[in-house]
Amino acid sequence: MAVAVAVSCLSPHLMAEEIHDAAGAGDLDKIKEMILATPDLVNQREANTGNTPLHVAAALGQKEVVSFLLQHQADVTATNQLGLTAIRMAKLRGQNGAVNIMMQTELPKADRKVMLAVEILEMVRSGQVAELKELVLKYPEFDLANAADVRDNSVLHGASFAGNTELVAFLLENKANASLTNRDGATPLHGASFMGRTEIAKLLLARHVPVDIKTGAGVTPLILACDRGNREIVDLLLENKADINASSRVGITPLVAATAGGHREIVKSLIAAKANVNARMKDGTTALMLAEKRSLTEIIEMLKTAGAVGTAAPVATP
């Protein structure tokens, strides 16, 4: 009773500081006293890091403390301000004993799925392909090939953006949805097109991803590839019947994007494929206007030869 009274008299800030210190030091007796007196402390976060006591104990390999915290409803899915779970912190510190305890703990199915999804997404970022494959195959009931973060970026989004062709192929073989969109409306094909990942784009297109799917801003994979100067991707998308005159919400077309980036060879390819050289953005700007503004002599000549006309000032949208 005296212990409970003493703990309850501490301010929330001091209690948070004390339980984290005890977790790091492996002071199991102190942890027990505090948790039994104030159960909510089990998931108390540090103000400057967002770490819970489980983060601290796991990172420092305090296995007995980890076990006790888990027995008292410590949230193994909680992430700190860096987006790391306790499991991830323990792995980064080489605390395999603590990792094993957390991975083997009994959890409700929904919580285990969240925990594994967080792990999978972190594995994509750190390039741990073998470990990721193992989890996907070990837990087919959780559909980890389609795990996504809070912005709906899926494992496939991450692998496509990172250029990990082996992982993309594996995910697709294990029922990853190649057409998933994130909060911005982007698919993995957008990421591959932006980053110039030609082989990955081929894999995605082979799964019949809509080649002209638009983001919330109305941007297609072809517009992105033209903007970034990724010629191989541009050629691939055109081979797959991408709309050469698709326009974004502000009227950016593939030709406008390529011209703005000064990508002469892509402009040449688009003109050869019959792009509309006189298409205007919402503010009235054309590809020729952009080329003249930047003194892109060769592109100016190509556009004029293809029939681009007029250098009138942009027309303001009402």
Residue 5 has what pLDDT? 44
Annotate 177-246 with DSSP letters as a single string. -TT---TTS--HHHHHHHHT-HHHHHHHHHTT--TT---TT---HHHHHHHHT-HHHHHHHHHTT--TT-
Q: For residue 69, is it within any domain?
A: yes
Residue 317: the pLDDT is 47
Q: What is the structure's pLDDT at 97?
A: 93
Structural domain total, the chain: 1
Domain annotation covers residue 212 = no
Position 94 in a domain: yes
For 53-88, the pLDDT digits (tens) are: 999 999 999 999 999 999 998 988 888 998 888 988
pLDDT of residue 95: 93
**Domain containing 38 — which CATH number?**
1.25.40.20
DSSP, residue by residue, the chain: -HHHHHHHTS-HHHHHHHHHHHHHHT-HHHHHHHHHH-GGGGGPPPTTT---HHHHHHHTT-HHHHHHHHHTT--TT---TTS--HHHHHHHTT-HHHHHHHHHS---HHHHHHHHHHHHHHHHHHT-HHHHHHHHHH-GGGTGGG-B-TT--BHHHHHHHHT-HHHHHHHHHTT--TT---TTS--HHHHHHHHT-HHHHHHHHHTT--TT---TT---HHHHHHHHT-HHHHHHHHHTT--TT---TT---HHHHHHHTT-HHHHHHHHHTT--TT-B-TTS-BHHHHHHHTT-HHHHHHHHHTT----PPPPPP-
Which portions of the chain are predicted below pLDDT 70? 1-13, 311-318
Domain residues for the domain of 23 are: 1-106
pLDDT of residue 10: 53
Task: Give the pLDDT confidence score for residue 82 in this predicted structure.
Answer: 87
Q: Is residue 84 part of a domain?
A: yes
Q: What does the pLDDT read at residue 1?
A: 44
Assigned domain for 166 exists: no
Instruction: Say if 156 falls within a structural domain.
Output: no
Residue at 154 is within a domain: no
What pLDDT, on the 0 to 100 scale, is given for residue 2?
Answer: 45
Residue 13's pLDDT is 63
- 211 domain-assigned: no
